A and B are shown apart, each in its own frame.
Chain A
Amino acid sequence: MNSAMNPTPMLRKTFKLFPRYMTLSLIRTSEFKFSFYSYMLLYIVQLFFYVFFWRAVSPPVVSGWTTESYYILTGFVSLNVALQEIFWATGIIDLMILRGDLLVVLARPENSFFGLVMRRMGAMAFIAAFLGFMLIITALFRYFDFELWRFCCALFSCLCGAITMRAVLLCVNTLSFWYGRVTALKKFVFGGRELARTPLDILPHHVASFLTFFFPVMLIACWPSLILVIATPMRALLLCFGSFAITCLWIALTVFLWKKGLKRYEGVSL
């Protein structure tokens, strides 16, 4: 198949198509006014209630986590999940594999992998990203000292977290080349993302390690929050580098699985 043989030009072509995919996604999701307002309502309710909750509970300081840092955590969850929705909505790849619809995508002059991923982008999640970002900024200027390098590192780590979580989901989707229906596993990954709403680094060491490497929800909001407001400069840099390393590992695994799966798909159906 074309994309597996020479991926670079295809990749360039796919990224050229990026603005078009985004426009299409925006048009699709804002076709009805009600849809737009309901998106707004959902995201605002979500942020408001989590902030209200942490404010009402105001848990005591544990491992450097103050009530204000929980606001930052909430902001990062919103930002991260929104980034996942915008750029890497991969919900139906497994179904396409199951139905054999992948051929339509493979025949097109674009990278099949990224083409599939981007076609389903959810541009409306920009609202959630914006709200999350505003919450982070507000909490940061109000309760903490702003340091640009920390801010940049935290955003980078958050982006790495979004990519990693989507890589995990893509791995799961790719498994349908071998195992067919993977709905249960997908739901498991989606549901597991909710764990990120609590500061996971205060959990026992073995649980935290598992949630860092094998099911990397730690990268969604916990590490970016640590980098931004809690960790020492040295630890913040280490966490930033760690996020990047874990992301690279997961991307490598995803691409490896995708290529293997695609070969299998070609062997079976072409």
Chain B
Amino acid sequence: MRKYISFFRLELFQMAEFKLDFFLFWLESLARVAVLFLFWMKIWSSPSGEEISTMERPLFMSLLLHCSIIFLPMRSPDKITQMIEIPVITGSISSTLCRPVNPILMNLSRILCQQMRMLILVLVLLFISDLFLAKHFQLPPPHLSKLLNPLFIISLLTGLLIHNLLYLGIGLFSFWIGEVWSILYALTIVASFMSGQLCPLGMLPDLDFYSQLLPFRYFAYSAASIYSGHGHIDEWFKQLIMLVLISIAIALLYKKAIRKFEAAGG
């Protein structure tokens, strides 16, 4: 375990170098959240806006905003995939494989470190968004107990694990096909719809049902629904089942990938 903590620490030092990158990343991400929110506000405030959903307006808006905010640390899936893809393509994965570490777990710990720092900002943003929602949609004012709800925190971390494992798993495909960017981007597009970033999944019952069978919903929407009071412990159980399934799939895929790599003389 200690060796993975050291990867975590190393990554933390490296990150501090790119302050501008960090600032602009947040600026761009927040601009996207703001534009999406303003768009749906406008739609809702139109005379026929109430007809578009069976959900109540405050719940719709809080889910949309919270989901978009929780999604912010997961905005660069390509970087996660490249952690496996690039070493495989360049052949430098061999040196990692010689070491007594699992490359998937090693990279997972690195990514988690990057995301932990962002999570603190996410919590701050959630608090601010609650202030805004309380003012405009007559929702209860923000409270620390809501932010520090253990179920919400656990759901948030489970979502991050599912997200990171899934995209690391896509990176494993590079053992067979080399570059995996097209699969990655196609999946990212599907994820943007099925994860509730563009509109809350509860708005469309069909989408809501099918999204439960795919992993994307569990990235941020589960945590957002628990935070908004819409989801309960059963949502987290579904997340947990998905996490177990993805972990098993990745373990199998990794085994096959290594076997293929060894057969090819790596």
Contacts and interface: CB of A to CB of B under 8 A. Distances in A.
Contact of A57 (B32, B183, B186, B204): B204
A221 to B, nearest CB: 14
Interface stretch (A82-90, A108-116, A146-154, A196-204): A196-204
A42 interface: yes
A101 interface: no
A34 interface: yes
Nearest to A63: B42
B42 A60 contact: no
Given A34-B177, A41-B186, A187-B25, A200 B46 contact: no
Interface string A137-153: 00000000000000000
Given A45-B186, A195-B35, A62 B21 contact: no
B19 to A, nearest CB: 9
Nearest to A202: B42
Interface residues of A, number: 34
A203 B182 contact: no
B43 A59 contact: yes
Nearest to B38: A203
Given A38-B183, A46-B189, A57-B199, A188 B35 contact: no
A207 B42 CA distance: 13
Interface stretch (B47-55, B140-148, B159-167): B47-55
5 tightest A-B CB contacts, nearest first = A38-B182, A60-B48, A184-B21, A45-B186, A184-B24
Interface of B: 18, 20-21, 23-25, 27-29, 31-32, 35-36, 38-39, 42-43, 46-49, 51-52, 177, 179, 181-183, 185-186, 189-190, 192-193, 198-199, 203-204, 206-207
30 contacts: A35-B182, A38-B182, A38-B183, A41-B182, A41-B186, A42-B189, A45-B186, A45-B189, A46-B189, A49-B190, A49-B193, A53-B198, A53-B199, A56-B204, A56-B206, A59-B43, A60-B46, A60-B49, A60-B52, A61-B48, A184-B21, A184-B24, A187-B21, A188-B28, A192-B31, A194-B32, A198-B35, A198-B36, A203-B35, A207-B35
